[in-house]
Amino acid sequence: MKTVSIEVLRLPHMDGIDLPQFETAQAAGADLRAAIETPVTLAPGTRKLIPTGFCMALPAGYEAQVRPRSGLALKHGITVLNSPGTIDADYRGEVGVLIINHGDQDFTVARGDRFAQMVIAPVTQGTFKLVSDLSDTVRGSGGYGSTGTE
């Protein structure tokens, strides 16, 4: 498993909260914790930007992908709204996570709760070249649902 060094700046409202951490030796995602002063309750269908209390400097050529935690999605219908959210290597602001409650009951996030996860991944940038036509494939221009049952 490859590791990269990520500089992290702790903001004052993160005092006493753990940095992102991988909970098992081979975990792909590091858990993110809520750096909120008071609990936040999301009613079904509502969304909220939850601060993490830190900024970071990713190495050039990497991104951080913010994703839901599977247990919260299964048990409570809590997910990351723009999943996966991308944090670019040149962003230096606070990491915040936009979560939504797709469940049927209120859900409360408390200070220090693990509520999302972050995966560090290499980035490939493409170059875009304008052409007059594209090569043919079996699929062609078939879109949504064109390869099987819905």
Binding site membership for substrate: which residues?
A: 69-71, 82, 86-88
Binding residues: 69-71, 82, 86-88
* Number of neighbours of residue 62 by Cβ within 10 angstroms: 15
Could you give the CA distance from residue 129 to residue 13 in angstroms, rounded to a whole number? 46
Of 119, 122, 113, which Cα lies nearest the Cα of 27? 119
Strand partners, 80: 99
Could you give the CA distance from residue 89 to residue 30 in angstroms, rounded to a whole number? 17
Where residue 129 falls (left for φ over 0; alpha for ψ -120 to 50; beta otherwise) is beta
Could you give the CA distance from residue 77 to residue 122 in angstroms, rounded to a whole number? 29
